[in-house]
Chain A
Amino acid sequence: MEQKKFTNLHEQMAYGALLEKLVNVSMIVLFISFVLYVGGFLAPLIPIEQLSTVWNLPLEEFLAQTDAPTGWQWVNHIHTGDYLSFAGIAFLVAITGICYLVLLIGFAKDGHKIYLFITSAEIGLIILAAANVMGGSGH
Chain B
Amino acid sequence: MSVLLDPLVKAVRSRVVSGLDYVELRADDVVETSIELRESSIESVTRRFECGHSARILKSGRWGFAVSDGMRDVSETITEAVKAARALSRTAVSDTSLHGVKPVKMDVPSKARIPLNEVDLAEKVSYLTSICRNATKADRRMTTTKASYSDITGDRVLVTSEGTEVRQSLSHAYLKTSASGNTSGRLVSARDEIGTVTRGWERFTEDGSGDKIVERLARKARLQMDGVSCKRGTHPCVISPKVSGMLAHEALGHLSEADLFAAGAFNGLEGARVASEVVTMVDSPWIEDGFGNITADDEGVLPKTVILIDKGLIGAQMTNREWATRLGIEPTGNARAQSYRVPPLIRMRNTYFERGDVSLDEMLEDKKFGYYCVDVSGGQAESNSSFQVSIQECYEIVKGELGRPVRSLAISGVATKSLALIDGVGKDFDFESSYCGKLLQAMPTSDGGPHLSFKKGGVVFGGSA
Chains A and B come from one and the same complex: no
Residues of B within 8 A of A (CB): none
Please list the residues of chain A having a beta carbon within 8 angstroms of any beta carbon in chain B.
Answer: none
